Amino acid sequence: MASTSVPSVINSPCSSSRALSSTDIARVKATVEKHVGYTGSPRGKFLLENWNAELPKFFKVLPRDYERMLEAFKKVEELGLTGDEAAMAAFEANLKDLARIGGN
């Protein structure tokens, strides 16, 4: 199979890609380590042995709707809202977001 970069093959009208955060990197590496521990996967071993070279090939892909909700949650939590109150405020903000209405 030919090597293709993830950003060139995702459904960009519905999804976005970005580099992994330090938290994402730690989570991915821990997941690969567990996988190798459970399965002995040669591919997983290769990834771990070549982690620094392979890491740039990993991307985080998010549906745009989910990404918009995460941003809405972040904004309402900055206002001091928590729990159900934050969820409802984020939902209402997303409902009125013109990007959502435009299909982005």
Same domain membership, residue 74 and residue 98: yes
What range does the domain containing 99 cover? 62-104
Q: Judge whether 81 and 60 are in contact, CB under 8 Å.
A: no
Query: How many independent structural domains does the chain possess?
Result: 2
Sign of the C-alpha dihedral computed for residues 57, 20, 61 and 34 taken in this order = positive
Q: How confident is the model at residue 81 (pLDDT cuts 50, 70, 90)?
A: confident
Amino acid letter for position 47: L
The yes-or-no verdict on residue 102 having pLDDT over 60 is no
The yes-or-no verdict on residue 39 having pLDDT over 60 is yes
Same domain membership, residue 76 and residue 50: no
Same domain membership, residue 70 and residue 43: no
> How far is the CA of 27 from the CAs of 24, 39, 52, 55, in angstroms?
5, 18, 15, 12
Same domain membership, residue 69 and residue 52: no
Same domain membership, residue 66 and residue 52: no
Domain assignment of residue 24, yes or no: yes
The yes-or-no verdict on residue 1 having pLDDT over 60 is no
Domain assignment of residue 94, yes or no: yes
Domain assignment of residue 2, yes or no: no
> How far is the CA of 33 from the CAs of 20, 46, 60, 63, 99, in angstroms?
17, 11, 19, 27, 39
Mean pLDDT across the stretch 29-49? 98
Domain assignment of residue 6, yes or no: no
